[in-house]
Structure 1
């Protein structure tokens, strides 16, 4: 099936026989037999199709097959028609999986993360050399990064500093954050960027991963961001998965500066919400001592409420 085949019918006729399997705001996903149709707001760039085709060609990671993509006539929405990955999301079947099954799934996802990390870039960019979707790297009112950055100074001065200033964080604290930011330059590796339980498809009987979906945030991110991004939104229903994947990374595959990056990134978020936060200042002090070579371990910080 392709858009050409779908054009035999109006979009309304197609969606009348489709099953809505996800709907959040203007983001919608329909199941049409063995096909998936995704609608996302068009933000001037969409890198997902290029990423899916690259991953399918160069890795063993099971991903959907892309049949077509197009924009709505008014360019408000981007559509992807792709194959449906068999199985259920990890979110749907978490409660029925055994402990060993969950651990096996975490090891498989970690293996896929390692496969991706062999691909590198010298810039913060998508697989198609476009700007990246923000992906919470910096909280902003817009949806994509301002540019394709290379250096640490460019990233901090153009992305983090304006966000911190607009939240009322003191200049002195901002300078300390800049001086303690984990290295980005020379550390850009291909990363999925959103490995929450809804994006991991599994066979609940065999307790095996059958696919990884939703690659719209994927790109060449700083290596430490893989680890930091896992605990985004900690304190929610999927903390068990986030903690399990974090432990698996710490045990076998922790990219450089990951522990430093996680606590630094959380300190930034804490200050953006609470510019006078004493907790964030304590975290920053720990980083300063750590970077100074003092006998400080960041192992006890895990991003889950500490």
Structure 2
């Protein structure tokens, strides 16, 4: 089958950042001479760094800073949203989030947008996990629960990314907030009038009545930043005010949809499935329609074990990085654990993968404090800190699985179709308790076959046209 998306394979193709210019900006920012600044040193494998390329610069006193070069995906908004998210979390929590020294979200001598920030200590969780003993892992569990709890205290009445307000006066670095200050990372240069106008046009929903320093604007979820699909512009990813609208916008990759006519019927069915499940929780305080907008909490949005840094000698979280997908969304979407502690695929159907039911966990003996003990500790700490966190983790797994299917890539890479078929076949929708299945599965299969045949014919005709022209 022909691939039916028209994005790009690599957003860095044809983009050649001027690292000499970046180094000069580092010297300018920290007021050091050229000879006092080390060369740009890549952090990680640049070949696999698609959304951003990261470099470190060594400064006097063995201090290093990080330059995060941003791929040209959703220009202006992605960088502005990421910086605002870090400022917002740093000003309202005690979480270890990098300090931004200066950034640029417009054209500049480097050739791409960039963020110059603090170098956080520690190593990636994915690299250190296997070497941690139980006590270190337990320390990490406590820090992870604390992170979820602190972020959950940050609320909004809509789903969207967060942006600094753009007053019509001047581009302020710091603004008063009661008796303290709200953090406002400085831009390298003031924004152009065109960029200011664009931000004001799309970011105009206040965070709350008492906070005039932030606005809710276009959604920046991973699902709408995938360059292999069309990346919808800000006008097609505006803030939404219900959970169903949030799922629908992500499923269709924007509003109006940017999905192909061949793919939309699959999105229709997954959205229908979600809407039907959501309606079953009519009075639930976390999962049903009555929960909107009380459950819109601030979430990292891409919290995997490569975006958490820890001290490998203690298990303590030392840094939380890569906030480009952060924003307000339904609370249950993000409380899923991290790395080894992410149990979703163990407990429920995800894509084409049936749940493993913890079959690979090591034996749970009283003397070993093994895998089962650690999982139990995580759940217990969630419940002790905040029972709603525990409910989101345990009870939100089916909704997260359907959301995953809704936002998956099209066939032949994506598995949304397989998920729907398997979901129905293995009885995830218990009709004795939930009533009839949300749609006629047999009719949908026939529609799918028809669409596949139409795509095959179109592909054959296209190939014939190319041959005849040759």
Q: TM-score, normalised by structure 2?
A: 0.51
- 1:299 is matched with none
- 2:123 is matched with 88
Say if 1:267 and 1:283, in contact at 8 Å, map to a contact too.
Answer: no
* 1:30 aligns to 2:160 (yes or no): no
Among candidates 301, 304, 323, match of residue 196 of structure 1: 304
Secondary structure of the 1:197 match is coil
Cα distance, 1:65 vs. partner?
A: 1.2
Count of residues in Structure 1 that have an aligned counterpart in Structure 2: 285
Among candidates 18, 27, 35, match of residue 40 of structure 2: 18
Of 119-128 and 72-81, deviating more is: 72-81
Q: Would the alpha carbon gap of residues 273 and 53 (structure 1) be closer, same or farther in structure 2, given more than 3 Å must change?
A: same
Secondary structure of the 1:147 match is coil
Distance in 2, matches of 1:233 and 1:15, equals 45
Say if 2:267 and 2:406, in contact at 8 Å, map to a contact too.
Answer: no
- 1:278 is matched with 421
- 1:224 is matched with 332
Distance in 2, matches of 1:37 and 1:123, equals 32
Over residues 252-286 of structure 1, what are the superposed CA-to-partner deviations in whole Å (9 max), with x where a residue is unaligned? 23244523423333454679524254213247743
Bigger radius of gyration among the two: 2
Match runs of 1:1-306 below 5 Å: 3=25, 5-6=27-28, 17-22=39-44, 23=46, 24-25=49-50, 27-33=52-58, 34-42=64-72, 43-44=74-75, 45=77, 46=79, 47-70=81-104, 71-73=106-108, 77-128=112-163, 129-136=216-223, 141-142=230-231, 146-161=237-252, 162=257, 163=259, 166-167=262-263, 168-169=265-266, 174-181=271-278, 182-183=287-288, 185-186=292-293, 187-228=295-336, 231=342, 248-249=378-379, 252=383, 253-256=389-392, 257-268=395-406, 273-275=415-417, 277-282=420-425, 285-286=428-429
Q: TM-score, normalised by structure 1?
A: 0.75
Over residues 51-102 of structure 1, what are the superposed CA-to-partner deviations in whole Å (9 max), with x where a residue is unaligned? 1112111111011111000134389732110111122221222232112212
Cα distance, 1:153 vs. partner?
A: 4.3
Secondary structure of the 1:105 match is helix
Cα distance, 1:21 vs. partner?
A: 0.7
Over residues 20-59 of structure 1, what are the superposed CA-to-partner deviations in whole Å (9 max), with x where a residue is unaligned? 0132136210111220110112413121211111211111
Say if 2:248 and 2:271, in contact at 8 Å, map to a contact too.
Answer: no
